[in-house]
Amino acid sequence: MVKKLLSWQMVLVLFLGLFFVRNCILPMVSDDIPYAFIWDGADRGNLLDGVGPRQRITSFYDIVVSQWSHYFTWGGRILGIGLTQLFAWQGKELFNVLNTLVLGGLLLLVFRIGTGLSLKAMNRTYMLWLVFAFWFLLPDPLLTMLWMCGSCVFLWMGLLEFLFLLPFALKYWQEDFWENPPKWAVPLMAISGLCAGWSVETGAAAAGLITLFALWHFKKQKQLQLWMVSGFICLCIGGIMLVEAPGEMVRMELQRLYEYNPGLPADMYWTPLMFQITFAECFWPVTKLWLPLLALIGYYVFGLPKGRRWNKVTKFQAVMIAGALGVMLVMIFVPMAPARAGFFSTVAVIAASVTALRELMPYKEKFYQQHKGMCRGVLASAFALWLVTAAIYCAVEWDVRQQWMSRIDYINVHKGQDLVVVHQIDVLPISDEICEYLGCVTWNTDVLAWGSDLEPREEGSHNLMYAQYYGWKKVITDGEDRRVE
C-alpha cells in the first residue's frame, strides 16, 4: 500500500505541488517590475537610478522592440529576459503554471541524460534522489527557480541547455540512437544549439565544454555525425551572440555612471580581496553542496575493481563534472560573481550522480536488507527535514507576501501624497540563519536589501519603477540602507 502511494509519479506530483504553491505565494518583485515596461535604451534602460517615465508592454511587438534595445544597450540575455517581459505582461498566474511544468521537465530530462533510459525505467528511488538534490543542493533556489526573472534566466535556460545535450547523451548510452539520423536532425540541433548558446553565460559555457568532450569522443569512435557538428557550431554562434552583445560595454559604462552599489569598488577588481570574495560567495557555496552527489559517485567508483574504474560510466561522470567545475573555477575571476551562476553546473553534477545510482540499482535490495535500520533512519530523517524546511520556507514567504500586500494597500490609500514612506520588509529570524548555511533558499535580509525590496532613496530605480507600475507618485522605505555594513 505504501509503495503504491509513494510511486515515482506521486513523489513528483507532491514535489511540484509544493513548488507551485510557493510560486503562487511569491509576488512580482525586484527586476520583474521594471521588465514590465518597454526597455528604453536611449535613456539608460529601466534598472538604473533616476530612471524616467516608461511605457508598459501591451503587445508582442513591444517585447521585440524592447529586446532589440536591450541587446544593444544592456546585454545579450534576450531569451530569458524576453520570457520575463512576456510573463510581466501576461500576468504571473501563467508563469506559476508553466514554471512548475518546466521544473518537472528538467527533473525528467536529468534522469534521461544521466541514465540513457526511457521514462518507463523511472522508479521511486530515482525520483526521491532527484527531489532531494533539487530541493537541498541547488544554489540559491529562490533566485534561480522561484523569482520570475531569475527563473526565466536560469531554470528555463537550463532546460534549453540540457535539451541540447540530450541527443549527445542518448547517442553515448545507446550507439544505435540516430544511427541513420532523420533529415530534421541537423536543423533541429542547429536551432537547439543556437538557443542553448544564447541562454545564460555560465550554462552555455559548461554546455559547450561538455559538447566539446562529446565531439572528441564520437570522432575517436568514428561516430561523429553532421547533427553533432551543426549543433556545436550553432552553440558557439549563440554563445558569441550572448557574450559579445554590443550592450555589454554600454551597460558597464552606464553602471559606472548611474548605479548605486556600495559593494566592492571597481579599483579592487582582480585583487586578492576580490578572489577571496568570489571564492567565499560563489565558488564555495555552490561546490560544497556537491558533496552528497560526489559521495554517491565516489561510492560507485571506489567500489569497482582498480583496473575497471575508467569505463564508459566514469568517463561520462568525469565529463559532466569537468564541465561543471571548469565554469565554477572561471567564476572566481569574475567580479561580484553570484552563487546562482552555478545552477547549470550543479544540475550537471546531479546528472552524473544519477548515472552512479543507475549502476548501483541492481544492488539496492541487497544493500537495503543488510542495512535496513540505517536506510529507514536516513529516509525518515530526510523526509522530516524536507517537511520542516518546506514549512519554514512557506511561512517565511507567506509572511513576506503579506507585508508586500499590506504595503501596497497602505500606499494606495495615501497615493495622493507627494511622498509615501513605508517600512522595510523584514523576515523571520530563522530565515537568515538557514540562508547563511544553505544559500538563498527563501527570503532573507540580504536578498531583500540587494534589490528585492524598495530603498530608502528616492532615486532608486525600483522605487521609481514600482511607482509607475502601481500609479503612485514617490515612495521610499524608512531606516538605513541595509546594503551598507
Write out pLDDT tens, residues 28-38: 999 999 999 99
Give the residue extent of every domain in the chain: 2-369, 381-477
Average pLDDT over residues 410-436: 93
Write out pLDDT tens, residues 131-173: 999 999 999 999 999 999 999 999 999 999 999 999 999 999 9
Average pLDDT over residues 385-403: 96
* Structure confidence at residue 125 as a pLDDT band (50, 70, 90): very high
What was the pLDDT predicted at 451? Answer: 80
Is a pLDDT exceeding 50 seen at residue 1? no
To the nearest whole number, what is the mean pLDDT of the chain? 93
Cell numbers 543556437: residue:
194
Quote the CA–CA distance of 269 and 100 in Å, as a whole number. Answer: 38
Counting residues of the chain whose pLDDT is more than 90, the rounded percentage is 81
Is a pLDDT exceeding 80 seen at residue 485? no
* Structure confidence at residue 240 as a pLDDT band (50, 70, 90): very high
What was the pLDDT predicted at 70? Answer: 96
Write out pLDDT tens, residues 64-103: 999 999 999 999 999 999 999 999 999 999 999 999 999 9
- Are 418 and 474 spatial neighbours (Cβ–Cβ below 8 Å)? yes
What was the pLDDT predicted at 6? Answer: 81
Write out pLDDT tens, residues 430-456: 999 999 888 899 999 999 988 889 999
What was the pLDDT predicted at 484? Answer: 59
What cell does 237 get?
554562434
Average pLDDT over residues 457-474: 92
Is a pLDDT exceeding 90 seen at residue 364? no
Q: Residue 65: enclosing H or E segment and its boundaries?
A: helix 60-73
Quote the CA–CA distance of 410 and 396 in Å, as a whole number. Answer: 21
Amino acid identity for residue 416 in this structure: G
Cα dihedral across residues 447, 143, 285, 276: positive or negative? negative
Is a pLDDT exceeding 70 seen at residue 401? yes
Alpha helix (H) ranges present in 137-225?
A: 141, 148-153, 155-173, 185-197, 201-220
- Rounded to two decimals, the pTM is 0.95
Alpha helix (H) ranges present in 302-371?
A: 312-331, 343-360, 364-370
* Structure confidence at residue 3 as a pLDDT band (50, 70, 90): low
- Are 36 and 88 spatial neighbours (Cβ–Cβ below 8 Å)? yes
Is a pLDDT exceeding 80 seen at residue 263? no
- Are 438 and 382 spatial neighbours (Cβ–Cβ below 8 Å)? no
